[in-house]
Structure 1
């Protein structure tokens, strides 16, 4: 399957496919033929981004082999942009496969990190954006950092 063919392979009633196709709103920071990245609505820290393949794949094992490299190039770019856009000292990059996967669509978490930020192990306390305007502002900063 090519990236173009995979881009057309969205699954009906999948929340992340709906965001990727624009059927459902999301604070998108990257969208191309391979991946879509958007703010997590329940972030660990503000600026927490989810990177999903445009094509529906439930787990990493389901992602076509020819898309693995291009997909992780997007994850790498988003990780840099999250640091630049939020002023974070680093990022935590992680994914679940089935277990603890709240949406059954492959997604990589890119979480901004700073020393002594309170994140310990795999306990992920969640925070909230004050409002849609604050969420939009974080998305804009990360989007702008994608071009640096």
Structure 2
């Protein structure tokens, strides 16, 4: 049976780490890592793993549809790329939210500044006649 490789493939596709799985199952990470490499866990543990990963028990214990090692490697690589892409999208979304906040604050400041412009213009207009009078008197 290919239980260890089936468990690993299901975990990677679910986007979980060995550490997360070990925590959810109440075992050490090294114990869980062994289940993915060479030691098969007991049936009840396999059922728990299937439940956590949202897959059928039969998917973890079946040799059917295993494919080649090259296919499995490709699936794992694609899953890793998808996970990295998802993480980068989340970071980019955070950057966009931050940029939007900065733009909103800048807009608020400009609105306040523009409201003050007419007051400043009135002051300047009122100052012009007195300046002309002073210059003429000198």
Same-fold status (TM-score > 0.5)? no
TM-score, structure 1 length as denominator?
A: 0.27
Report the structure number with the largest CA radius of gyration.
2
TM-score, structure 2 length as denominator?
A: 0.28
Greater helix fraction, Structure 1 or Structure 2: 2
